[in-house]
Amino acid sequence: MKNRLEELRKERNIRQEELAAALKVSRQTIGSLENGRYNPSIILAFKIAGYFGMSIEEIFIYEEDGEGQERTEK
């Protein structure tokens, strides 16, 4: 899942370590979230959204895969 985590973090001049400490996760988790290798749980997604004062949809971009889009169009 794509996200704007890195973009938002850099806008606010926050280091990965600081964001990790605020969310009570490891720095490696922040790194994996930013490069899309790991998708957060719903609870962590809410915590991230709350930290940035935004909604989940504004941070995480959910894209239907090709199969899902075809079914919707039919």
Partner 1 sequence: MKKSMLYTGMAYCTAGLCCLAAAVFTETWFDGMFWGMFGALTAPGLLMMWKYFHWSRPEHQEEYARRLEIEQIEMQDERKVMLRDKSGRIVYQIMTGVYCVLIMAFSICSMGGWFMPFSLYAVIGLTVLQVFQWVCGMVAFGWESKRR
Give contact residues for partner 1 (rule: CB under 8 A). 20, 24-26, 28-29, 32, 38, 40-41, 44
Indicate the Cα dihedral angle 30, 49, 11, 62, nearest 10°. Answer: 80
**32 vs 51, beta carbon nearer partner 1:** 32
Q: Which is nearer to partner 1, 46 or 64 (CB)?
A: 46
| CB of 21 or CB of 61, closer to partner 1 | 21
The structure tokens 């959910």 sit at 62
Task: Work out how close the CB of 40 gets to partner 1 at its nearest, in angstroms, rounded to a whole number.
Answer: 7
What are the Cα distances from residue 59, in Å, to 18, 53, 63?
18, 10, 13
